[in-house]
Amino acid sequence: MSNTAGISASDPTDAHADGLRALALALLGSGEGAQSSEGPSQPPRNEPLVLRIEDLVADERGEIVLSASETLRGVVLTTEQEVTASGIAEPDRRASGEEVGGYGYVVFAAGATVFFAPGLEVEVVAPGS
């Protein structure tokens, strides 16, 4: 279920999205998700991508948008932060220009809001759970 190509930071610059992709590849480690001489290979299907919320790069509003792809169907967000709100977003455009109407969202105690595309399963867990 992991594919870093389906993840985008809600930021108008490609540098932040590229940084997030690099972070995701680093977190995947070796094995099927490791880089080969031909460049990065795809992580195994049906495996959720595990990311620390504190490592994600938010835009100036504290927002992060995660998109689904053919091979990315699940993300596990680890954090010690409490979830203060969650639901389905009304039609609205983010600072980066992305329309998030119908996306799920989770708001964390430190202020970050993670929007995730329909079809992308997101689980929030405390480290070590």
Q: Is 124 in a helix, a strand, or coil? A: strand
Write out pLDDT tens, residues 63-111: 999 888 877 789 999 999 999 999 999 998 877 778 899 999 999 999 9
Q: Is 120 in a helix, a strand, or coil? A: coil
| pLDDT at 20 (0 to 100) | 53
Is residue 13 very low, low, confident or very high in pLDDT (cuts 50, 70, 90)? Answer: very low
The tally of domains found in the chain comes to 1
| pLDDT at 102 (0 to 100) | 94
Closest residue by Cα to residue 10 from 83, 85, 66: 66
Strands 7-8 vs 63-66: parallel, antiparallel or unpaired: antiparallel
Instruction: Confirm whether pTM is higher than 0.75.
Output: no
Domain span at 41:
4-125
Phi, psi torsion values for 17, nearest 5 degrees: -65, -40
Write out pLDDT tens, residues 17-37: 444 554 555 444 433 444 444
